[in-house]
Every structure is written in C-alpha cells, then in structure tokens.
C-alpha cells in the first residue's frame, strides 16, 4: 500500500516511496471515498468547512505531484492506477 510506504512496484530492487507520494496516495483514497459519498449518499449534507477541507486536500495532492512527477516511484504508481495490482 503506497500510503503506508510498503508498496511493491515493478522495479527490482523495489523503489523507495517518497513521502509526497505516500501523502498523495492517502489523499487520493480519501477524495475517491468522498466522491462516492457525494454521488450516492443523498442524506449527507456537506458543510462549507468539509468542502474547504477536501479542496485543500486536492490542492495538496497537486502540490505533491509537482514535486515528484519525474520520480520513478511516481511513474510506477500511475502504472498501478491504470492496470491494477502487480501480478506475481
């Protein structure tokens, strides 16, 4: 799991996971869960504080991405998002 820093990508030896990538992965998961809640839970009423917090999360994710976009671990993370888990 990337957000925990124990991710196994495709490189041998495994590539170190930068802290920015760990944070980005955690934010991505949180935003995805929030999106699902917003789409499917019509009983949820969003406060402006909650919305601002999620917008700040998205901004932080983009800032982290700009810092690591050329890192090999970031490339492997994108690959994992596109094709799923590594097959052994």
| 88 or 85: which leads in pLDDT | 85
Q: Is residue 49 part of a domain?
A: yes
Q: Is residue 88 part of a domain?
A: no
Is the confidence at residue 11, as pLDDT, over 70?
no
What band does 2 get if pLDDT is binned at 50, 70 and 90? low
Q: What would the mean pLDDT of 29-37 be, rounded to a whole number?
A: 94
Angstrom distances, CA of residue 37 to CA of 13, 26, 33, 41 = 38, 17, 6, 5
What is the extent of the structural domain holding 68? 2-83
Q: Is residue 76 part of a domain?
A: yes
Domain count for the chain: 1
What's the pLDDT at 84?
A: 72
What band does 9 get if pLDDT is binned at 50, 70 and 90? low
């Amino acid at each position: 799991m990337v957000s925990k820093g124990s991710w196994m990508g495709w490189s041998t030896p495994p590539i170190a996971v930068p802290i920015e990538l760990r944070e980005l992965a955690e934010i991505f998961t949180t935003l995805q869960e929030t999106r699902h809640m917003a789409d499917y839970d019509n009983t949820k009423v969003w406060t402006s504080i909650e919305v601002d917090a999620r917008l700040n999360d998205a901004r932080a994710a983009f800032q982290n991405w700009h810092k690591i976009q050329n890192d090999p671990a970031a490339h492997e993370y994108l690959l994992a998002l596109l094709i799923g888990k590594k097959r052994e």
